[in-house]
Amino acid sequence: MKLPLITVNAFATQAFSGNPAAVTLLDAWLEDSLMQAIAAQNNIAETAFLLKSGPASYHIRWFTPAVEVPLCGHATLASAFALRECFGEKAESITFQSLSGPLSVTCKGETYTLDFPSQPPSAAPTPDWFINAFGANPIEFHQSAYSLAIFPSQEIVAALDPDFPLLAKTKGSNVIVSAPGNEHDFVSRFFAPADGIDEDPVTGSAHCILTPYWAKRLKKSKLTARQISPRGGELLCDLAGDRVRITGKALLYSEATIYV
């Protein structure tokens, strides 16, 4: 069987920035084990599998090299980009049916806007695993779909050097670290070794948590954000009730055929 494989850098403004995602459009679902094996061989943060369900409507599933995940922002943006640039989709608004419900992506010029669920975090005690893994004590700790640790400065977040093997064997240790930005409203990093990703370059789904947190703290609904991983990425975030709109750009990296 031959399958198309498009690799897109999401939330990127130049080559080798943003977060790479692989996208393939299927005629029928593959076995879960085969999709997981393809994602493992791709060995990038996410591989998205798409199946057309109607006009400008697609089912979407996301796999890291290790597991299927319920929500992924950058691979959804990459999927919309790949559909329009490589698979002939003409619609400016595309709907994806996912494990997290319907998600839409709107294209305007070179920008893509995700419409995702808001996931406000709740304050919680800082767990021992975080202090042991990071060697640092945040000023706030919160829980949502991922944990969120808040630090006082961008410089502290940039300097964090976690113990990845310890995080990898700790259940529920997927964690965002964040602080006020020097040139943006906030900055962040995201770590998920237990899901096969030591540090994710740019994480759209993390901003479902970050946006309501910083919107409340800064008393503004429109926010500029940067994920300060080594690759880095820019995001514009807009809190709209129980939804978060996350806007970014994308660049095509490669077009290939895989044989499975």
Residues classed as catalytic: 46
- Identify residue 66 by its one-letter amino acid code: A
Q: How far is CA 119 from CA 65, 91, 102, in A?
A: 25, 28, 15
Token readout for 10 is: 């999401």
> Torsion angle, CA of 42/47/51/57, rounded to 10 degrees?
-150
> Computed over its alpha carbons, how large is the radius of gyration of the chain?
18
Name every residue whose Cβ is closer than 8 Å to that of residue 205 and which is 6 or more positions away in sequence.
71, 72, 73, 116, 145, 146
The separation between CA 60 and the C-alpha centre of its own chain, rounded to angstroms, equals 14
Which residue stretches of 152-191 are H helix?
154-159, 164-168
Name every residue whose Cβ is closer than 8 Å to that of residue 41 and which is 6 or more positions away in sequence.
none
Backbone angles phi, psi at 10, to 5 degrees: -95, 150
